[in-house]
Amino acid sequence: MASSAPTTPVSSLRPPVSSATKLVSPSSLFLPCNPEPKFPTVVAARPIQPPLSASSHEPPRALASFSPAADEADPEPAPLTLRRICSGHVPEHVLRRMEEVGYILATDVQREALPALFSGRDCVLHAQTGSGKTLTYLLRIFSVMNTQRSSVQALIVVPTRELGIQVAKVVRLLAAKPMGLEMEQNKSYTVMALLDGGTLKRQRSWLKADPPAIVVATIGSLCQMLEKQVFKLDTVRILVIDEVDFMFNSSKQVSSLRKLLTLYSSCNSRQTVFASASIPQHNRFLHDCIQQKWTKGDVVHIHVNPIEPMPSCLNHRYLTCHRNRRHQTLLHLLQRDNPESGIIFVGEQSEKSKKAGNPPPTTLLLEFLKDSYGSCSNILLLEEDMNFNARAASLSEVRQKEGYLIVATDIAARGIDLPETTHIYNFDLPRTAVDYLHRAGRTGRKPFSDKKCVVTSIIASEERFVLKRYENELMFACEELVLSL
């Protein structure tokens, strides 16, 4: 049960097959700060397994080389299916639906985190971009849902409307009736997206009349509802904060988050899950979780691939050019790469430039590409300053098209899942290594694919040392690309 403090030893939370997973003793991990930390970190570093066919529930023979017996020198555990991990926890109709949409094998984070989540422990899910953290916490949520109850039982808090729409969509996908399965009417889960830019009036009536089982919310809209006492969190059994470092980075959101975690609800009456691909100073964060009572004292840190924060399927390149030549350089690069689908990240317009009445750099680039880059008819804009409807329209258009190019600011860098994206271009260098990681992570989002995706940064020569710093911090290497223009 989520509400009682479990006493399960951490070793028993670990799945049986992970040879390269090791438990790191807390004392060897922590900075010398008080008090002595009480939570364990599970560190997992093992290559992801290849895919299974969507129809099979157990690994086929063709994957025998992944079984421990196949290679005595470097024994690899047998691929583990999500069904095996979730059986007995997640209802059969959700498992059927999960397989129907193609989720068969567990990714590393799913393999490592689900047993801990099913035990009721509070968890910090810390794993690469595109590694499947969303499905991980959703499966846990489905395992505790009681369809007989008319109350909000799970709350997922996300930083942007776009991510909220996406997460709600996956919830609905999994909650739908699987083909050929008779389901009682009362087995359905209601999902509400309570997001900035939405019609809160309608949601207020809905929350009062017939509370949904799962709410996906942005913190602003959620706090409005809580302050007006439209609903309370006392029935919430699981609280997930997705992209947690991003949320705690924004001063606007910090006080709301603190209230959410400690005033509107108590860590003792819920299971708390934090997720992100980047948790800078994670030891400090875990320490704060306990000290500030955001989580219970036995919170577990699931840290997947800590020595490789960047997905290994990415190739990183950089290209040096004079600042005045960046539009032309990008055009040559696109003509050379001919990307199936890509995202071009542009820096935010400065306040000074806005005041001077200059057009945003995103708009300038979009117009330039529409005029000069004929290979892609589908070039779209996604930026902070667009209104909510225009942003939603851009994203849904992208999802329906075969090939696309998106000119975006960092709003598109967090959590957005467009698995067809093969190329990322940093037209402007991101401001921090964490921003680089999240931009780069918008590609390489097919967990079991061998396909290499490419991240290219267009830099001025004086920016090389900044990129080098990101390489050191994130432990990846960038190759220089020279174009003969």
- Tokens linked to 329: 């350089």
Contacting ligand ATP (CB under 6 A), which of 115, 132, 212, 342?
A: 132
Q: Does 79 bind ligand ATP (CB under 6 A)?
A: no
Q: Smallest distance from the beta carbon of 19 to ligand ATP, in angstroms?
A: 20
Instruction: Name 103's Cβ contacts closer than 8 Å, sequence gap at least 6.
Output: 82, 135
Q: The tokens 């935010």 sit on which residue?
A: 348
Q: What DSSP string runs through 240-279?
A: EEETHHHHHH-HHHHHHHHIIIIISS-GGGSEEEEEES--
Nearer to ligand ATP, 77 or 415 (CB): 415
Binding of ligand ATP at residue 339 (CB under 6 A)?
no
Which of 85/346 has CB closer to ligand ATP?
85
Which of 434, 482, 427 has the alpha carbon at shortest distance from 455? Answer: 427
- Measured from the CB atom, the residue of 106 and 321 that comes closer to ligand ATP is 106
CB of 414 to ligand ATP, least distance (A): 7
The nearer residue to ligand ATP, 42 or 226, going by C-beta atoms, is: 42
Write out the binding residues for ligand ATP, residues 411-470 only, by CB under 6 A. Answer: 415, 417, 419, 441, 445, 447-448
Contact call for residue 134 and ligand ATP (CB under 6 A): yes
| 59: number of Cβ within 10 Å | 20
Query: At how many degrees (to 10) do helices 92-100 and 161-175 cross?
Result: 110
- Choose between 231 and 436: whose C-beta lies nearer to ligand ATP: 436
* Interface of this chain with ligand ATP, residues 248 to 277, rule: CB under 6 A: 277
Separation between Cα atoms, residue 240 and residue 136, nearest integer Å: 11
Residue of 2, 85, 95, 103 interacting with ligand ATP (CB under 6 A): 103
Which residue is it, tokens 């819920």? 270
Which structure tokens are listed for 431? 């401001």
Between the two ends of the chain, the Cα-to-Cα distance in Å is: 63
What is the closest distance, in whole angstroms, from the C-beta atom of residue 129 to ligand ATP in the complex?
4
CB count in 10 Å sphere of residue 387: 9
Nearer to ligand ATP, 287 or 445 (CB): 445
Q: Which is nearer to ligand ATP, 91 or 419 (CB)?
A: 419
Residue 314, helix vs strand vs coil: strand
Judged by the rule CB under 6 A, the positions of this chain that interact with ligand ATP are 82, 103, 105-107, 110, 129-135, 277, 415, 417, 419, 441, 445, 447-448
